[in-house]
Amino acid sequence: MSGATEQFVTLGLGAEVFAVPVAYVREILDYAKPSGIPDGPSYLLGLTDVRGRGAPTLDLRLKLGLPAVPPDGATRILVVDVPVEDRTLSLGLVADRVIEVISFAEGQIEASPDIGVPWRSDYIRGVVRRDAASGKGGFVVIFDLARLLTSQDAAYIAQAA
| Span 21-25, average pLDDT | 96
CATH number reported for the structural domain that contains residue 84 in this entry: 2.40.50.180
| Percent of the residues in the chain that have a pLDDT greater than 70, as a whole number | 82
Residue pair 125/142 in contact by the 8 Å Cβ criterion: yes
pLDDT band at 3 (very low <50, low <70, confident <90, very high): confident
pLDDT digits (tens, 9 = 90+) for 26-82: 999 999 999 988 877 888 899 999 999 989 999 999 988 889 999 999 999 999 998
Report whether pLDDT(86) > 60. Answer: yes
- Number of domains into which the chain is organized: 1
N- to C-terminal Cα separation, the chain: 41
Instruction: List the domain range (segments joined by +) for residue 34.
Output: 5-160
- Identify the weakest region by mean pLDDT among 52-61, 75-84, 114-123, 131-140: 114-123
Report whether pLDDT(133) > 70. Answer: no
Beta strands in the chain (DSSP E): 5-13, 16-21, 25-30, 44-50, 53-59, 76-84, 87-95, 97-105, 124-129, 139-143
